[in-house]
Structure 1
Amino acid sequence: MGHHKSKGRRFPLLPLRGILVYPSMVLHLDVGREKSVKALDKAMVDDNLILLCSQSEVNIEEPTQEDIFRIGTVAKVRQMLKLPNGTIRVLVEGLERAEIIEYLDNEEFYEVLAEERPETETSDSEVDALMRTLLTQFEHYINLSKKVTPETLAAVSDIEEPGRLADVITSHLSLKIKEKQEILETIDVRARLEKLLDILNNEREVLELERKINQRVKKQMEKTQKEYYLREQMKAIQKELGDKEGRAGEADELRSQMEDKELPEPVREKVIKEIDRLEKMPASSAEGGVIRNYVDWLLGLPWSEKTEDDLDLDKAEAILNADHYGLDKPKERVLEYLAVQKLVKKLKGPILCLVGPPGVGKTSLARSIARSLGREFVRISLGGVRDEAEIRGHRRTYVGAMPGRIIQGMKTAGSMNPVFLLDEIDKMASDFRGDPSAALLEVLDPEQNNTFSDHFIELPFDLSNVMFVTTANAIHNIPRPLLDRMEVLNIPGYTELEKLEIAERYLLPKQKKDHGLTEEQLIINNEAILKTIREYTRESGVRNLEQQIAALCRKAAKQIVANPEQAIVVGPDEIKDYLGVPRFRYGVAELEDQIGTVTGLAWTEVGGETLVIEVTVVPGSGKLTLTGKLGDVMKESAQAAFSYTRSKAAELGIPTDFHEKNDVHIHIPEGAIPKDGPSAGITIATALISALTNRYVSKDIAMTGEITLRGRVLPIGGLKEKSLAAHRAGYKKILLPKDNERDLKDIPDSVKHDVEFVPVSHMDQVLEHALVQHSEVH
């Protein structure tokens, strides 16, 4: 072809899309574009030669000069075939590289001036080495890529010219047009071989990576398939054994449970959603257990189950009276609730707070309330609860999360309207874990508790039908906001007569039964019980009394085992043999009138107490000493009494400078409660005046009242407990503040019968009653 070496030749140009033809390649092309068909026609008319150049972008219909690579291949058209759809199939054979010099003006088809670029024949040992390396690399490539057939390798191995070898190998690689074009444009043979080696190396690395990834994916696939297969086998085995299949069976079971329950709409939706989530969980997932637990709780709670209230007042009253002696106020309150329920049908459950000393039957009263209403009964103790989560539950995300005690109690009750006892509400503590009493506010507020929210359940739960009963020993330990939400019923303690009744009706029969004794085997007469009450117990309730009766029964049981025939009768004189020496002295603490000693009355958490206040005056420099476990309130009482005495010294016939020449020591042996104080102002003043004037104080008198600096007597609290204490200790006369007269109606008649109550409004009256002339004694 050497005679074409002028300044280029004219060629019709056929732009190729997505394909590239090398010299010495023979292949079929489908030609469809109008310009391309015309270029072919022109070639056929001339010498069958046409220039094939590739487009840089595949999807350009009408390429401009910029879109067509400058270097292409001159090819000879060997065959032409018109296909039915209008395209032409041609067989071309690549001859030689050629470079476009310029485009000629031709509207119909692309025509160019091009110059052929024959390759230089180079043959030296380096090129041979390159060829060999190329073949080896190509072999690797074929092994890795399954796209090239091994026959190709054989065909390629026979090629001797290095340039052609490079072209043929490149034509078999699946490369981007841009990379193939680079090889086409490299005219220098050695450079072409090196470039191709680079490309092959790259391709090989990519292929190896691909293979690795494929193997990994295959392994994963195999593992998953294996697991799936094993799981299916397990399901089949479980089916054979009659177990329901894993999670799906669990979900079905929960769904059928859900159908059996009447759930409010929001709860139902939540349950359905959680069951669906559970079903999708793999059996190995730990969260499945959490969801399962949650759904179980939602299904276990009484969202709409209720017990029918037994609205029979007479029956309820009979039950309450059968279970408890006395306690009129609390019983009345329950019956009122019942009556209102009967009229209104729906009343928010009241929140009663039973306050009283230990052993007066607060807890058992709550039980009887439930029995009389025909409701379920749940009790939780709040003693020592310091964690807010105990009331409100934990968030479900924690390990071992649970609902709070309230929701647990409701699940136990199994109905929406139980009687719910919160025991020891005054014993709650608060620390860094939050304040449980604040969490209780929502539970115990009738306005809020219809949508109580527990951290675990996360759905509002209605507590408004619950009748809450709380118990406490002392009202001042209950946080104020909590107290506001409750109705306080005081249970002050029992009189001797009531204790006697309780012992006869309840404690004795119960203990006899517990100790396996029949009615006849042990008889304890009333005097013996009364003696036990007076000399072996000193309490407001009957817990100690029950322990003493139990001790009697045990000792009797021992005797009866030794001698089965005998019946044991215990009278007041035999009590000592069974219970040992009396622990308390009954009757007046002071057997004769004393100077400077007065009995005061105190209120404590365990009921009323009598306390003896002693005053001694000794020569000195005017020090006032207070001893005994005194709270601030007591110290104030003592100071006030002292100042009052000083202000009245002249009237009382005391030297006005007594406080400068004497030391006064006030001693109160029994402990005082700092909050309430024993209200001992008038007691201390009386003792002080008695000591200073050397006058005796009547031994039969006990007193309670606070004093002002001018001698007025101020009202006190806890009169009933205090009078019971004075009665227990055998005092005949009680001085009380005039303002407390209204409280006398609460005092049992048996006490009023034995004790004279004297209302006083000024210290003068106190002294009139308390101080007796010495001559009267002797």
Structure 2
Amino acid sequence: MMPKTETSQKIPLLPLRGALVFPGMVLHLDVGRDKSVRAIEQVMEDDQRILLASQIDLAVEEPEKKDLYQTGTLAYVKQMLKMPNGTTRILVEGLQRATINELTNSDEYYEVKIEPLTAEISNQSDSEITALKRMVNDHFEQYAKASSKISDETIQAIRAINDPGHFADTIASHLPLKIERKQEILDALQVDGRLQKLLDILTNEKEVLDLEQKIGQRVKKSMERTQKEYYLREQMKAIQNELGDKEGKGGEIETLRTQIEEANMPENVEQKAQKELARYERVPTASAENSVIRTYLDWLVSLPWHEKTTDHLDIANAENVLDEDHYGLEKVKERVLEHLAVQQLTQSLQGPIICLTGPPGVGKTSLAKSVARALDREFVRMSLGGVRDEAEIRGHRRTYVGALPGKIIQGMNNSGVMNPVFLLDEVDKMANDFRGDPSSALLEVLDPEQNHEFSDHYIEEPYDLSNVMFITTANNASMIPAPLLDRMETISIAGYTEIEKKAIATNYLLPKQLERHGLTKTNLQIKEDALVKVIRYYTREAGVRNLERQLANICRKAAKTIVTGEKKKVIVTLNTLEDMLGKPRMRYGQMEENDQVGAATGLAYTNAGGDTLSIEVSLAKGKGELTLTGHLGDVMKESARAAFSYIRTNAEHLGIDEHFHENTDIHIHVPEGATPKDGPSAGITIAIALISALTGRVVRKEVGMTGEITLRGRVLPIGGVKEKAMSAHRAGLKTILLPKDNEKDLEDIPESIRETISISLVSHLDEVIQYALGDPSA
């Protein structure tokens, strides 16, 4: 129990923010809060005594008891003065410590019930306290000497204080301590504890001051050394000028200044370059910043700021170049020529960015190269596959170690001109993580409204990309982020028919491989029927990449035969093809050999182009369980359940036992279970396979189908019509069933395929049954 000097009493309270008053202190306080002013006015009318308590949180405007330190100082208000700025200034003298027992928050002012406190009796002897007092005094005088902020008069006055408690309070009031530390001393009632806390604080403050002085001395020495080096460099520069010596950094700076003037930069960029050159001239050669500035200046002077190539805008020539480099692709070529024609009329590239989409190996990248050749422009290719760091597009800020511009600026620097054909390859393969989203950074690059002032983090100054012809490629347009896709016009390259592949191999691939392997048409010939067999039985792809590999394989075998002297001329025929390439790796056509029950052929679209999909259904006695296998995705599973529900609902109409779902287990399987399969186009195929298994009617082997089904039997449109038609052609199907709503897509199917395959448009499952299922009486 703390001792009291008098009975508990109730007096006004003045909460202090950022201040603390010790007993014995006399100082001025500015009072601004209305309640605090009214409390001062009240005490001036009474006995002029008030309790001063510090707030724990300075931001609290209306403090409660929990917001105040419980030990405060009972003070005497000696003077009150109204200031012109509206605040009230008071002169107070701390009397003694007091603890708050109760706080009342009235409308006028705060009032507290307090118990005044006096110092507790110490367990230590008078001599021990005197020794502790001397130690505190010695440390305080050392601190005062080191800080030079406390006057000699103050030191003398404190030294003359005899009372240890008053001595400790006075020293604490002169130290630049936080309120929390001062409050610890105010809370300490035992004199020896108060002195010990003060001794710990003074020891720590002295160490901090010593450390500050050491750091200051090091900084001073460093500044002196830098000034000395600068003076010596200036002397060296003057000596070099007198001797006519332009070697070393002086000559390097002059060379850079000349390069900046000849780079023909925009005015703002040139000003930035000159500013950096001035910094480079001042920075010591051994400094790390020296190489950073030099690298930055090298990038600025090497970038093409105004250099351009002259476009060769001859549409007839461009058409010849595209035809020389690519067979087929009529729609794609037509769109590219339209783009160039508009550019010729407007002398501007403003317009959508071309995005070539399609499976691997169909010629997207080589088509972009042909466009550059047709325009007589420089060609730059940037692969975006696996790019996940935004800095790879926008560059790193120069504050980072090893910073470089982004790949866009690097590509422009490599091209040497402002108007290259810039290919952004595999734009659908970008990723994003904690380092940023590179697709968002590409928005500024590809947007004609923004890219005239493209901002690279390394270069920092705007760079004009509006003269660049950007072309992008992707395998799957659905993988491109929507905001990025919105800035592009997609041109789909679905793949090649067998006729087109044969022409490409004869006119493009085989001559190229003959030249690469040192062969000629004289010593290696591939018969037409053998070439067709290579296409059918050794490759299965939308493009021609694997076909080119097989032709290269034939060339290598032929080269070995000729070099070893076995033959001087190699002719590849149907009989000799297997000796060179081995047994056929593919089965040409996926069409069933016979009409079957419970097996239907669907048409699918994958990233590698179109493909056929066999769906099988088996029935067994059971409890009506439906099993789906074959590594199916959620969409195909939902299609299977929708088909199952339609058949249950229309069982009587379809000639199926209405109770089949109660006593028959149904297993739907899509072969090649290791391959993931998904997509909204297998609904009618699953339905036909189910109906065939439940009715015993065979499915016509030459019919392929694609389309989604609703619970009412409607056939919904799908995508990838051209790719699916080409896969049906490869598989040897004679008839394909397409949704009625896809009639608009028929013109995309090559004429050579439309001539060999019958295309039937259906809008309801009943029509599909008529085409797909055989005669029930058969």
| TM-based fold match above 0.5 | yes
- d(CA) in 1 for partners of 2:258 and 2:421? 30
On the 8 A contact 1:595/1:690 being kept in 2, the answer is yes
Q: Deviations over 1:354-391 (max 9, x none)?
A: 10000001011111111111111100101101111111
- d(CA) in 1 for partners of 2:362 and 2:486? 24
Residue equivalent to 1:577: 579
Q: How does 1:514-529 map to 2 (within 5 A)?
A: 514-529=516-531
- d(CA) in 2 for partners of 1:437 and 1:237? 52
- d(CA) in 1 for partners of 2:322 and 2:525? 27
Residue equivalent to 2:253: 251
Q: How does 1:111-510 map to 2 (within 5 A)?
A: 244-348=246-350, 350-510=352-512
Q: Secondary structure at the match of 1:608?
A: strand
Q: Deviations over 1:526-554 (max 9, x none)?
A: 11111111111110000010111111111
Distance 1:359 1:474, change over 3 A: same
Q: Deviations over 1:182-213 (max 9, x none)?
A: xxxxxxxxxxxxxxxxxxxxxxxxxxxxxxxx
Residue equivalent to 1:611: 613
Residue equivalent to 1:706: 708
Q: Deviations over 1:48-101 (max 9, x none)?
A: xxxxxxxxxxxxxxxxxxxxxxxxxxxxxxxxxxxxxxxxxxxxxxxxxxxxxx
Residue range with higher mean Cα deviation, 295-304 or 380-389 = 295-304
Matching of residue 590 in structure 1 with residue 600 in structure 2: no
Q: Following TM superposition, by how much is the alpha carbon of 1:245 offset from its aligned partner in structure 2, in angstroms? A: 3.6
- d(CA) in 1 for partners of 2:359 and 2:223? 72
Q: Secondary structure at the match of 2:755?
A: helix
Q: Following TM superposition, by how much is the alpha carbon of 1:447 offset from its aligned partner in structure 2, in angstroms? A: 1.4
Q: Secondary structure at the match of 2:574?
A: coil
Q: Deviations over 1:572-611 (max 9, x none)?
A: 2321111111111113431001000000010000000101
Paired residue for 1:649, among 638, 648, 651? 651
Q: Deviations over 1:675-717 (max 9, x none)?
A: 9605010000000000000111111111111111111111110
Q: Deviations over 1:609-659 (max 9, x none)?
A: 101000111111011110111111101110111111111111121110100
Paired residue for 1:539, among 538, 541, 566? 541
Residue type at the aligned position of 1:423 = D
- d(CA) in 1 for partners of 2:226 and 2:675? 75
- d(CA) in 2 for partners of 1:689 and 1:725? 25
- d(CA) in 2 for partners of 1:293 and 1:222? 26
Residue type at the aligned position of 1:463 = L
Residue equivalent to 1:761: 763
Residue range with higher mean Cα deviation, 711-720 or 260-269 = 260-269
- d(CA) in 2 for partners of 1:478 and 1:714? 25
Q: Deviations over 1:480-502 (max 9, x none)?
A: 11110111010001100011111
Distance 1:280 1:660, change over 3 A: same
Distance 1:349 1:409, change over 3 A: farther
Distance 1:234 1:644, change over 3 A: same
Residue type at the aligned position of 2:618 = T
Q: How does 1:68-107 map to 2 (within 5 A)?
A: none
- d(CA) in 2 for partners of 1:651 and 1:696? 18
Q: Secondary structure at the match of 1:589?
A: coil
Residue equivalent to 1:554: 556
- d(CA) in 2 for partners of 1:384 and 1:589? 38
Larger radius of gyration: 1
- d(CA) in 2 for partners of 1:528 and 1:573? 9
Q: How does 1:605-754 map to 2 (within 5 A)?
A: 605-670=607-672, 677=679, 679-754=681-756
On the 8 A contact 2:368/2:471 being kept in 1, the answer is yes
- d(CA) in 1 for partners of 2:622 and 2:239? 101
Residue range with higher mean Cα deviation, 560-569 or 445-454 = 560-569
- d(CA) in 2 for partners of 1:554 and 1:235? 69
Residue type at the aligned position of 1:703 = M
Q: Secondary structure at the match of 2:447?
A: coil
Q: Following TM superposition, by how much is the alpha carbon of 1:761 offset from its aligned partner in structure 2, in angstroms? A: 1.0
- d(CA) in 1 for partners of 2:326 and 2:646? 47
On the 8 A contact 1:588/1:700 being kept in 2, the answer is no
- d(CA) in 1 for partners of 2:408 and 2:230? 44
On the 8 A contact 1:349/1:467 being kept in 2, the answer is no
Q: Secondary structure at the match of 2:435?
A: coil
Q: Secondary structure at the match of 2:575?
A: coil
On the 8 A contact 2:603/2:705 being kept in 1, the answer is yes
Q: Percent identity?
A: 63
On the 8 A contact 2:398/2:458 being kept in 1, the answer is yes
Q: Secondary structure at the match of 1:702?
A: strand
Distance 1:671 1:235, change over 3 A: farther
Q: Secondary structure at the match of 2:531?
A: helix
- d(CA) in 2 for partners of 1:290 and 1:722? 56
- d(CA) in 2 for partners of 1:533 and 1:262? 55
- d(CA) in 2 for partners of 1:596 and 1:226? 91
State the aligned residue count.
560
Q: Following TM superposition, by how much is the alpha carbon of 1:461 offset from its aligned partner in structure 2, in angstroms? A: 1.0
Q: Secondary structure at the match of 2:586?
A: coil
Residue type at the aligned position of 2:482 = R
- d(CA) in 2 for partners of 1:600 and 1:722? 9
On the 8 A contact 2:684/2:709 being kept in 1, the answer is yes
Residue range with higher mean Cα deviation, 631-640 or 217-226 = 217-226
Residue type at the aligned position of 2:407 = R
On the 8 A contact 1:632/1:674 being kept in 2, the answer is no
Residue type at the aligned position of 1:337 = H
Q: Following TM superposition, by how much is the alpha carbon of 1:344 offset from its aligned partner in structure 2, in angstroms? A: 1.2
On the 8 A contact 1:360/1:493 being kept in 2, the answer is yes
Q: Which ranges of structure 1 fall in alignment gaps of 5 or more residues?
A: 1-216
Residue type at the aligned position of 1:695 = R
- d(CA) in 2 for partners of 1:365 and 1:219? 61
Residue type at the aligned position of 1:620 = G
Q: Secondary structure at the match of 1:492?
A: coil
Distance 1:356 1:690, change over 3 A: same
Q: Following TM superposition, by how much is the alpha carbon of 1:661 offset from its aligned partner in structure 2, in angstroms? A: 0.6
Residue type at the aligned position of 1:444 = L
Q: Following TM superposition, by how much is the alpha carbon of 1:348 offset from its aligned partner in structure 2, in angstroms? A: 2.1
- d(CA) in 1 for partners of 2:280 and 2:234? 17
On the 8 A contact 2:396/2:457 being kept in 1, the answer is yes
RMSD: 2.6
Q: Following TM superposition, by how much is the alpha carbon of 1:773 offset from its aligned partner in structure 2, in angstroms? A: 3.0
Q: Deviations over 1:427-473 (max 9, x none)?
A: 11111111111111111112111111010011111111111111110
Q: Secondary structure at the match of 1:574?
A: helix
Q: Following TM superposition, by how much is the alpha carbon of 1:268 offset from its aligned partner in structure 2, in angstroms? A: 1.2
Q: Following TM superposition, by how much is the alpha carbon of 1:247 offset from its aligned partner in structure 2, in angstroms? A: 2.7
4+ residue runs over 4 A deviation: 217-240, 670-676
Q: Which ranges of structure 2 fall in alignment gaps of 5 or more residues?
A: 1-219
Residue range with higher mean Cα deviation, 449-458 or 564-573 = 564-573
Q: Deviations over 1:15-45 (max 9, x none)?
A: xxxxxxxxxxxxxxxxxxxxxxxxxxxxxxx
- d(CA) in 2 for partners of 1:676 and 1:654? 29
TM-score, normalization by structure 1? 0.69
- d(CA) in 2 for partners of 1:239 and 1:662? 106
Residue type at the aligned position of 2:635 = V
Q: Secondary structure at the match of 2:433?
A: coil
